[in-house]
Amino acid sequence: MATAAQWLEGARPRTLPMAVAPVLIGTAAAYDLGSFKPLNAVLAAVVAVLLQVGVNYANDYSDGIRGTDDNRVGPLRLTGSRAASPEQVKYAAFGCFGAAMAAGLALIILSSSWFLILVGVGCIAAAWGYTGGRNPYGYMGLGDVFVFVFFGLVATLGTTYTQAGQVSVPALIGAVGTGLIAMALLMANNVRDIPTDREAGKRTLAVRLGDEAARISYVMMLALAILLPLFLAADYPWVLLVLLLLPACLMPSWLMLKGKKRRSLIPVLQQTGLINLGFAVLFSLGLVLTRLLA
């Protein structure tokens, strides 16, 4: 039986900023549209965090039973390390998905956004299908695309819509930015695992691109995300606060380009997660300050 500390580590808390960031941006975009609903924002955050933890447990379970994590470099995996049985990890994933569905239904009722029921079903299906099922899309190199769509576009624009009943260009720019950083985080994780993933037949985008190109793509994703808000600078000058993140991007970018030992890439995950959170905070602050000082 895994300890509470092991379950917490298995939930991969370093990835949680990826869930919180789009909710912050979506809420700030709703405020810019003249609508801020705290309860809706909290429910959106609960849904996002539970889905992220559920994905992490589902990934742990599916990779574990396939043997992908048997010789893995990196944080603890409950199934692969035999700290917990596959059934326990699977039930933990399903429990998170069920709780996310309950919170999501409450959010849909509050916002009367009934079409989002279909979006929610799609989110659960995508969460499980990443590494689960007979043909997991994460093993085909499509995981990065789904991370961008669901932890970038869907999470951000969905948060804005459930508060304001519409979306906006700033919401879209913020969604693309946080989605790119989420992709970069996944790329960093997958670059570290290229040797074991290739051996296990897991054809992630990093495996398909190859080590050098995958590392370069990480830097390009971060750069594009940080520079995208420049398109809003004319109407939202305070979003230029995001440029303060450029120095913070230097160390993880250097590690990705120069860190030859797989273990040396582990800190990049936490650093990228913090960059995503920093992007969300500064971008959101830029939207709010522009509206307040207009």
In this structure, which amino acid lies at residue 204? Answer: T
With bands split at pLDDT 50, 70 and 90, how would you rate the model's confidence at 112?
A: very high
pLDDT of residue 160: 98
For residues 212-232, give the mean pLDDT.
96
pLDDT band per the 50, 70, 90 thresholds, residue 224: very high
Determine contact, residues 93/54, Cβ cutoff 8 Å: yes
pLDDT digits (tens, 9 = 90+) for 161-203: 999 999 999 999 999 999 999 999 999 989 988 888 888 788 8
Q: Which carries the bigger pLDDT value, residue 75 or residue 197?
A: 197
Name the strand (E) or helix (H) holding 1. none
**Residue 70 pLDDT exceeds 60:** no
- Percent of the chain past pLDDT 70, that is, above it, reads 97
**Residue 73 binned pLDDT confidence (cut-offs 50, 70, 90):** low
One DSSP character per residue, 94-157 reads HHHHHHHHHHHHHHHHHHT-TTHHHHHHHHHHHHHHTT-SSS-GGGGT-HHHHHHIIIIIIHHH
Decide: residue 118, CB within 10 A, 0-12 exposed, 13-18 middle, 19+ buried.
exposed
More confident residue, 220 or 3: 220
Lowest mean pLDDT among 70-79, 152-161, 193-202: 70-79
Q: Give the pLDDT of residue 149.
A: 94
Dihedral of CA 170/53/60/7: which sign?
Answer: positive
pLDDT tens digit sequence for 236-274? 999 999 999 999 999 999 999 988 777 788 889 889 999
Q: What is the mean pLDDT of residues 202-221?
A: 93
More confidently predicted of 59 and 287: 287
| DSSP assigned state of 168 | -
Q: What average pLDDT does range 57-70 have in this prediction?
A: 80
pTM over 0.85: yes
Percentage of the chain lying above the pLDDT 90 cut: 67
Tell me the average pLDDT across 126-151: 85
Q: Is the pLDDT of residue 65 over 90?
A: no
For residues 229-233, average pLDDT: 95
Q: Are 179 and 149 in contact (CB under 8 A)?
A: yes
